[in-house]
Amino acid sequence: MHRGEDGTTILVEDAGPGVPHDLREVIFEPFRHGGDGLGIGLSLVARFATLHGGWARVGDREGGGASFEVFLPDGSFVGEVVPDGVELAAS
Dist. CA 15–CA 12, nearest whole Å: 11
10 burial via Cβ count (<10 Å: 0-12, 13-18, 19+):
middle
Q: Residues 27-44: pLDDT tens digits?
A: 999 988 767 788 899 999
pTM for this one? 0.74
Say what the pLDDT of residue 91 is: 45
Q: Residues 54-67: pLDDT tens digits?
A: 999 999 999 999 99
Dist. CA 6–CA 72, nearest whole Å: 9
